[in-house]
Amino acid sequence: MKVVNNKVKSIDGLGVMKGRKAFTDDFAEKDALIVKVLRSPHPYARVVSVDDKLALELEGIEMVLTHKDFKRIPFTRAGQGYPEPSPHDKFVLDEYVRYIGDEVLAVVGINDSVVEKALSLIKVEYEVLEPVLDFETAKDNQVIVHPEEEIHEMFDIGFKPKRNIAASYGMEIGDVKKTLEACDYVIKETFYTQAQAHVMLEPHTVNARMDYQNRLIIYSATQTPFHVRRIISQGLEIPLSKIRVIKPRVGGGFGGKQAIHGEMLVAYVTYKTGKPAKMVYTRKEVFESSYSRHPMRIEMTLGADKNGVLKAINCEALSDTGAYGEHALTVFMVTGSKVLPLYNKVESVRFVGDIVYTNHTPAGAYRGYGAIQGNFALESAVDVLCKKMDMDPIEFRKLNMMKEKETSPIFEIMGEGTAGTAMIMETCKLDECVDKGMELIGWKDKYPRKESENKIRSVGMAIAMQGSGIPYIDMGSATIKLNDDGFYNLMVGATEIGQGSDTVLTQIAAEELMCEVEKVVVYSSDTDLTPFDVGAYASSTTYVSGNAVLKAAKELREKMLVEAARILGIEVDKVGFDGKEFWDEESDKSISLVDLSNQITYSHEQKQLQVTSSYVGHKSPPPFMAGFIEIEIDKETFEIDILHYVSVVDCGTTINPMLAKGQVDGAIVQGLGMAHFEDVKYAKNGRMISNDLLNYKIPTRLDVKKLTTVFVDSYEESGPFGAKSVGEIGIDTPPAALANAVYNALGVRITSLPITSEKIFKEIRRN
């Protein structure tokens, strides 16, 4: 391979570094109306009345929008395929507000200062209601977060709003109780994972205008432009054909931009007034009023026989979806479906639980998507079990973990919101990942710990898996067009959000068309101009959209060969092609690609060669990895210093090894954030305390010492040039690896995230 699996530079790095217009707000109209939201100061309240008289008298205020301005159409902001597996439980604006930060009303005016003035002049009378703030008491609580009658599920997801249940799920293979009774060793631990904020550096941003054809043009910093178009059409009853969503460059998403945020209000204002409008979330709004990761309680029971064979896993979980049920069911299911198959030799496995409503900021999609929560619980529990059995945790994993050509019955039973898809692991190099990781971290010398006078150094590890798109649901498409002078346009619905998908998809096209990357001009994610793609989520872009690009490139090559055969006057199967030149295998006749493209554009039998292809996965081959951490803990303060993180990843072929490494490095640091630094904290009254970057600490460059990220050789036949996904897998292992390292250092088991010095101190005190 010449282009694929090579360190090709990002195609857009130079322009972005030079500060050229690229991001959503760079394209806002200069005279765009400013849309700002008045947000609820109460965790749960009914809006009794709004007095906006003084606000409307201000010069420059265009309108004040309340729930009375909108038809009551329940929808979900989740940004998923249709029908969504999330409950339709949200209105553009509602009489009820369900968390501190929820939307009460919107003010629209000509500039920031007048809109802010207006916001301060509006008086809202609330009937303050008792909130549900503890997710462990939310189910069947007398306070009901969603009492309204119009809300509904699209298909059976276990939606029982009168019981504060957004969704439920349960499955059992074998008989867990019976298997556990027969086990020689059984352990049970309860784990808690916290809400984590995405902290993409570009806040949620949207702007809109009507164009000269009187169509609504929306620029949105979104991971899912086609879903945005559909949801806006449904929520505002604007014909789909009237809406164009353009996704410019996006400044990070991590799942946070899968859902729609300001789009509905801005679209409404522009459609109603005919004037351009825009909205940029403040950082406080990004924290308080978008969504974060689902906090969970996970009870994990493991049973093994005397030979160290894991026989049963019982996982009972509870997830907090906050005020709205975005991704409630599907995140929860991934906690089982992309975690439990890691140990596929079990006789019985059970996964069951509810996702409940509370009056906190909603939870939603976030890189890892339930797998990081489940991985922390399972991979911590495995070390607890090993301790009980007095078995080496690496030896245990090697004995019990998934191996190549094996499967798990879970794949067939659990999908995302629906049943799953059976599949064999055609590629699974976990054993190699573990061996290589041990070597790179120096496990044999360092496990479990080394003590000096004031410090203890220790190591810990965990294994993980993810998926590559959602089989039979996620669809990606690509259009490739041959231009005169022999270069190509590649149009993809796939959504570049900073992860490098434009570069990677260009490489795939260039490889198949046997040309340099520079000959392929990519344009992504514009609902008028590019073919459909579900968007950037579920680790689908390289695998699903990449397969669509490969298919399109193959078909275009076939078409070019037909044209070359016609021009050369020979049979198609006699045409040779090297990316630049077509020739007759049996004579010295030839024509260059440049000449061919010019001829069919301008002079003989003119036509446009263009192909559109789509791809839907028939399986979701998981990438696998082993993560190893080395830490140093201060014996007095229990301060944790993360010295080194080793990631050994099987993601199939790395289409671009540099960008793949960037995905893993970034995800590891974000995972370390969840493991050690980050915590969305609420005061007792339901107010988010950690609502800015001073109170919510993501890892800075001083916190990152050494990352070693390597890829093992692996070739997934079903992937484009052998690739699986790599976007999410990196985030999963740090929480459990750190918990295990802390245990190896001090003999205390921290079962709640983040793992902090304070928690270690308390745990040591308790013992």
Partner 1 sequence: MKIDLIVNKQKKTFLIEPNEYLLDVLRRYDYQSVRRGCDNTSCGVCTVLLDNKPVPSCSVLAIRCEGKEITTVEGIADEAEKLAHYFGELGADQCGYCNPSMALTVYSLKQENKNASVEEIKNYLVGNLCRCTGYVAQHEAIKRYLGDES
Nearer to partner 1, 112 or 713 (CB): 112
- Please tell me whether residue 283 binds partner 1 under the rule CB under 8 A: yes
CA dist., res. 394 & res. 548, Å (int): 39
Distance of CA 314 to the CA centre of its chain: 26
Residue 201 engages partner 1 in binding (rule: CB under 8 A): yes
Q: Are 700 and 638 in contact (CB under 8 A)?
A: no
Q: Of the two residues 282 and 421, which places its CB atom closer to partner 1 in the complex?
A: 282
Using the rule CB under 8 A, give the single segment among 56-64, 139-147, 199-207, 426-434 that binds partner 1.
199-207
Query: Given the DSSP bridges, would you call strands 243-246 and 216-220 parallel, antiparallel or unpaired?
Result: parallel
Q: x/- string (CB under 8 A) for partner 1, residues 499-528?
A: xx----------------------------
- Rounded CA gap, 645 and 663, in Å? 14
Please, what is the minimum distance in Å from the beta carbon of residue 365 to partner 1?
Answer: 16
Contact residue for partner 1 among 71, 444, 684, 701 (CB under 8 A)? 701
Contact 474, 538 (CB under 8 A): yes
Comparison of 347 and 728: residue with beta carbon closer to partner 1: 728
Choice between 15 and 83, CB closer to partner 1: 15
Supply φ then ψ for residue 689, to 5 degrees.
Answer: -85, -35
CB nearer partner 1, residue 549 or residue 664: 664
Nearer to partner 1 (CB atom), residue 56 or residue 698 = 698
Measured from the CB atom, the residue of 162 and 702 that comes closer to partner 1 is 702
Counting contacts by CB under 8 A, is residue 440 touching partner 1? no
The three-class DSSP label of residue 36 is strand
Count CB neighbours of 587 within 10 A: 11
Minimum CB distance to partner 1 smaller for 14 or for 562 = 14
As measured in angstroms, the least distance from the Cβ of 539 to partner 1 is 16
Closest to partner 1 by CB, 298 vs 668, is 668
H/E element holding 355?
strand 348-357
- By the rule CB under 8 A, 698 interacts with partner 1: yes
Among 87, 364, 498, 535, binds partner 1 (CB under 8 A): 498
535 binds partner 1 (CB under 8 A): no
- Which positions from 648 to 677 touch partner 1 by CB under 8 A, shown as an x/- string? --------x-xx-xx--xxxxxx-------
Q: Is 7 in the site for partner 1 (CB under 8 A)?
A: yes
Q: Are 480 and 552 in contact (CB under 8 A)?
A: yes
- Name the residue among 56, 43, 83, 598 with its Cα closest to residue 362: 43
Report the Cα 162 to chain-centroid distance in Å.
30
- The residue ranges of DSSP E strands in 657-727, in sequence order, are 707-711
The least CB distance from residue 333 to partner 1, in Å, is 26
Of all helices (H) and strands (E), which one includes residue 48? strand 45-51
Q: Given the complex with partner 1, which of 115 and 748 has the nearer CB atom? A: 115
Parallel, antiparallel or unpaired: strands 205-210 and 277-280: antiparallel
Q: Does 16 bind partner 1 (CB under 8 A)?
A: yes
Shortest CB 631 distance to partner 1, Å: 17
Q: Going residue by residue from 90 to 129, which x/- string records binding to partner 1, judged by CB under 8 A?
A: ----------------------xx----------------
Q: Which of 32, 45, 165, 199 binds partner 1 (CB under 8 A)?
A: 199
Helices (H) and strands (E) in the chain, counts: 19, 27
Q: Which stretch binds partner 1 (CB under 8 A): 100-108, 177-185, 485-493, 495-503?
A: 495-503
The answer for residues whose C-beta is within 8 angstroms of residue 57's C-beta and 6 or more apart is none
The rounded distance, in Å, linking the Cα atoms of 486 and 519 is: 8
Stretch that binds partner 1, among 280-288, 335-343, 368-376, 618-626 (CB under 8 A): 280-288
Q: Where are the alpha helices (DSSP H) in 122-197?
A: 176-181
Name which of 14 and 764 has its Cβ closer to partner 1: 14
12 lies in the binding site for partner 1 (CB under 8 A) = yes
Binding residue count for partner 1, defined by CB under 8 A: 59
Residue 610 forms beta bridges with which residues? 481
User: Under DSSP, is residue 542 helix (H, G, I), strand (E, B) or coil?
Assistant: helix
Asked if 694 interacts with partner 1 (CB under 8 A), we say: yes
- Of the two residues 7 and 580, which places its CB atom closer to partner 1 in the complex? 7
CB 440 within 8 A of CB 628: yes
Judged by CB under 8 A, which stretch of 57-65, 232-240, 246-254, 674-682 contacts partner 1? 246-254
282 forms part of the interface with partner 1 (CB under 8 A): yes
- Name the one range near partner 1 by CB under 8 A: 405-413, 476-484, 704-712, 716-724: 704-712
d(CA 650, CA 726): 9
Q: What is the DSSP string of 398-417?
A: HHHS--TT---THHHH--SS
SS3 label, residue 176: helix
Q: Indicate whether 702 belongs to the interface with partner 1 (CB under 8 A).
A: yes
Q: Return the number of the residue (132 or 726) whose C-beta is nearest partner 1.
A: 726
**Distance separating alpha carbons of residues 55 and 52, to the nearest angstrom:** 5
Dihedral sign of CA atoms 379, 383, 384, 388 in order? positive
Interface map 598-637 toward partner 1 (x if CB under 8 A): ----------------------------------------
Q: Note whether 494 binds partner 1 by CB under 8 A.
A: no
At closest approach, how far in Å is the CB of 26 from partner 1?
4
Between vectors from CA 489 to CA 488 and to CA 490, what angle results, nearest 5°?
115
Task: Give yes or no for residue 706 binding partner 1 (CB under 8 A).
Answer: yes
- Regarding 137 and contact with partner 1 (CB under 8 A), the answer is no
What DSSP string describes 480-525? EEEPTTS-EEEEE-S--SSSSHHHHHHHHHHHHTTS-GGGEEEEE-
**Binders of partner 1 among 252-271, rule CB under 8 A?**
252, 254
Please choose, out of 182-190, 334-342, 378-386, 693-701, the segment that lies near partner 1 by the rule CB under 8 A. 693-701
Among 333, 665, 663, 607, which residue's Cα sits nearest to residue 470? 333
Place of tokens 């977060």: 145
How far is residue 70's CA from residue 74's CA, in Å, rounded to a whole number? 11
Q: Which stretch binds partner 1 (CB under 8 A): 293-301, 390-398, 491-499, 511-519?
A: 491-499
Interatomic CA distance for residues 252 and 460, integer angstroms: 30
| Token duo for residue 596 | 């061919």
* Residue list 586-605, contact with partner 1 (CB under 8 A): none
Residue 254 near residue 670, CB atoms below 8 Å: yes
Residues 6+ apart with CB under 8 A from 58: 109, 114, 117, 118, 121
Q: CB 252 → partner 1: shortest distance, Å?
A: 4
**What minimum distance in Å lies between the beta carbon of 453 and partner 1?**
24
Q: Nearest to residue 647, comparing CAs of 627, 665, 661?
A: 627
Q: Which is nearer to partner 1, 16 or 121 (CB)?
A: 16
> 331 to each of 174, 534, 640, 750, how far by Cα in Å?
24, 17, 30, 24
Nearest CB to partner 1, comparing residues 19 and 239: 19
Name the minimum Å distance from CB 283 to partner 1. Answer: 4
- Interatomic CA distance for residues 404 and 427, integer angstroms: 6
- Single out the residue of 250, 318, 384, 389 in contact with partner 1 (rule: CB under 8 A): 250
59 contributes a contact to partner 1 by CB under 8 A = no
Question: Which spans of this chain sit near partner 1 (rule: CB under 8 A)?
Answer: 7, 9-10, 12-14, 16-23, 25-26, 30, 112-113, 198-203, 249-252, 254, 280, 282-284, 497-500, 656, 658-659, 661-662, 665-670, 692-694, 698, 700-702, 704, 706-707
